[in-house]
Amino acid sequence: MAHVVLVEDEPNIAEAIRFILSRDGCTVTALSDGMGGIEQLRSLGPDLVILDLMLPGISGLELLAAIRADRGLRGVPVMMLTAKGQGRDREAALQAGVNHFMTKPFSNTEMLAAVRGLVARRGAG
């Protein structure tokens, strides 16, 4: 069973993702912002982090950079979610080390496939 940490400030989206992933057997910890940052992620020990690009206080890109700079977390796969699917956002996320980029809205099937693939790669790596 994979532990997914979801950092999403929109409650309806967070609850929808939590429901989809929990029904598929994942344990989901939802955070409404990234202000607890690296310390909180370290203590949770996720198999996957799903980050919203636009968060209050600290952006998803800033949190991603901190994850990649942290020795204990740098190997954790990160999926970036955004309502802004512009090329420059995708490019910035890829340069920061994101493993998967998904735009909102997304389908349940698309979300499950991405999560399963990222968790399987982590398990195989």
Top CATH class, 3-124? alpha beta
Band of pLDDT at residue 34, cut at 50, 70 and 90: confident
The residue extents of the domains of the chain are 3-124
100-114: average pLDDT = 95
The DSSP bridge partners found for residue 78 are 49
pLDDT (average), residues 53-79: 94
**Percent of the chain surpassing pLDDT 70:** 98
Check residue 125 and give its pLDDT. 61
> Would you state the pLDDT for residue 1?
86
